[in-house]
Amino acid sequence: MAAIEVKDGNPLGAIRELLRSLMSRGVVGALLVPEETPSGKAVVHTLVRDPARLDVANPLAPVFGVNAARIVVKMCARQLARSPAEAAVAQVGAAVAASAGGAQAHDVGGASAPRDDQEKPAPEKQPAAPPTGLVLRPCEIRALVELVKLQQATLDPFLVIGVDCWGTYSVKDYAAKAEKCAQGASVTAEFLKQMAGGSLPADLRSACQACRRPAPTFADIAIQLIGEDVSRKITVRAQTEKGKAALAAAGLEESPENPERAAALEKLAAAKDQAAKEGQFNFLELIETLCINCHNCREVCPICYCRQCAFDGPVFAYTMDKYLTWSGKKGALSMPPDKLLFHLTRMSHVATSCVACGQCEAACPSGIPLGRIYRRISAAAQEALGYEAGRSLEDELPLATFRETELAVVES
């Protein structure tokens, strides 16, 4: 049976059906998926275990409150780190293996984890739990790819289900639109109709207006909408062995490739290029005038993974004396200090992995166009190093590698 059959012109219903199948057949044990809130005015990432609760799943809603990559990192935190007790057991295991004579050279100063066959046998191996499905937008997936490379997340316990994205509204705008919606209508349906008509709304989030990556760079299963008449058909493709196995286990068939997709993607990209209002901005003035040093941009950014930001750490913990000396030298010191430094430093830290999701701009209480600013600096940084954030798990992080002959232009 085909993975998706759109009935009664209801693409959302078809997607819900697919997700329900995956869950009820045990292909996934849980689903992280955007779900409508009871008020109907918002859509929030929800971790669903009960298939019945998928009735309000809505990955097609054009709204984007949190970059789900951050949520995945939180879910993985314990997966990657063990509790102190577990850590102690693992260490004993490794020590036993190391002292067990013979050619056990691996543990000496080496960087490898203790080999499975050397650890003490774990108590009764449990059957592997089914993966958790992640229903994600392309920029969330790209951020997740970067975070996997930064060892803040792992894809092992997950089945990534990527969904095409034309763009989203801000949380506030979506809520307002939902409020104004007539009975029986929905923001999602309106949006899909507009997309079918080929025109982009002028009030998409500015990050979305300039986005040229509406399709997931990576996914186990891809739900493809662009180039389709979604009221009749949606293409579902398995893009990895894991995805293939998942569809097979659910007794579902992949759709055939859509020959019109490539052209449709290009058309959309062209429309975005036109619509993108890059404009000029005066960075210094914007920060001086509007930035209140709240660090919200950092909080919502999926790439900012530090346990404690440098700016909250010892390097920037000043004594009273320091403040007075500093302001004495300058005559006057804007307070709190390190506003510009924060932004410039954060840019240097995230530029190579920034996926231009624009969450920073959405979170800024002063409305500084950070999304547009970060789009530009990250594009410039990534271009300089020949890298594209989130494109592939195989691409090495650009600052972790180098070529012997390159970037002569940087040398003065």
Among the listed residues 105, 182, 202, 320, the single contact to other proteins using CB under 8 A: 105
Q: Which is nearer to other proteins, 394 or 411 (CB)?
A: 411
Task: From 41-49, 187-195, 229-237, 324-332, give the range in contact with other proteins by CB under 8 A.
Answer: 324-332
The neighbour count for residue 111, using CB atoms within 10 Å, is 5
Minimum distance, C-beta of residue 104 to other proteins, in the bound complex (Å): 8
Q: Is 150 in the site for other proteins (CB under 8 A)?
A: yes
Q: In the complex, what is the shortest distance from the CB of residue 142 to other proteins, in angstroms, rounded to a whole number?
A: 17
| CB 310 to other proteins: min, Å | 4
CB atoms < 10 A from the CB of 198, how many?
Answer: 10
User: Coil, helix or strand for 195?
Assistant: helix
Please, which residue, 253 or 338, has the CB nearer to other proteins? 338
- Which contacts (CB < 8 Å, 24+ apart) does range 274-280 have? 275/200, 275/202, 275/209, 275/210, 276/209, 276/210, 277/206, 277/209, 278/210, 278/372, 278/376, 279/372
How do beta strands 221-224 and 132-136 pair?
Answer: unpaired
C-beta closer to other proteins: residue 229 or 278: 278
Residue range at the interface with other proteins (CB under 8 A); choices 24-32, 54-62, 133-141, 327-335:
327-335
Residue 129 or 407 with smaller CB distance to other proteins: 407
CA 335 vs. chain centroid, Å, equals 33
Question: Considering the rule CB under 8 A, would residue 339 count as an interface residue with other proteins?
Answer: yes
Q: Which is nearer to other proteins, 73 or 234 (CB)?
A: 73
Contacts of 335 (CB under 8 A, 6+ apart): none
Q: Give the C-alpha separation, 44 to 212, whole Å.
A: 24
Question: Which region among 49-57, 178-186, 250-258, 312-320 touches other proteins (by CB under 8 A)?
Answer: 312-320
Map the footprint of other proteins across residues 223-282, applying CB under 8 A: 282
**Which CB, 197 or 331, lies closer to other proteins?**
331
Q: Which helix (H) or strand (E) holds 379?
A: helix 370-384
| Joined tokens for residue 183 | 């009975």
DSSP H helical ranges for 126-260: 138-149, 171-180, 187-197, 206-209, 241-249
* Minimal distance, residue 110 CB to other proteins, in Å: 5
With respect to other proteins, which residue has the nearer C-beta, 106 or 244?
106
Name residues contacting other proteins, limited to 22-81 (CB under 8 A): 80-81
3-state secondary structure of 265: helix
Q: By C-beta, is 102 or 197 nearer to other proteins?
A: 102
Q: Beta strands 132-136 and 158-163: pairing type?
A: parallel
Nearer to other proteins, 110 or 259 (CB): 110
Segment 388 to 407, residues that bind other proteins, using CB under 8 A: 396-407
The span from the CA of 12 to the CA of 17, in Å, is 9
Distances (CA, A) of 339 to 74, 146, 321: 28, 26, 20
User: What count of other Cβ atoms lies within 10 Å of the Cβ of residue 148?
Assistant: 19
**Residue 182 contacts other proteins per CB under 8 A:** no
What does DSSP assign to residue 408? G
**What whole-number distance in Å separates Cα of residue 329 and Cα of residue 317?**
19
Among 337, 388, 391, 395, binds other proteins (CB under 8 A): 337
Instruction: Give the per-residue contact string, 106-145, with other proteins (x = CB under 8 A; - = no).
Output: x-xxxxxxx-------------------------------
Residue closer to other proteins, measured from CB, 180 or 403? 403
Contact pick of 347, 388, 391, 395 for other proteins (by CB under 8 A): 347
* Cβ neighbourhood burial of 257 (10 Å; 0-12, 13-18, 19+): exposed
Binding map of other proteins across residues 281-310, x = CB under 8 A, - = no contact = -xxx--xx--x-------------xxxxxx
Of the candidate spans 12-20, 137-145, 172-180, 348-356, the one that interacts with other proteins by CB under 8 A turns out to be 348-356
Total chain residues near other proteins (CB under 8 A) = 79
Helix or strand holding residue 158 (H, E): strand 158-163
Stretch touching other proteins by CB under 8 A, among 41-49, 100-108, 158-166, 182-190:
100-108
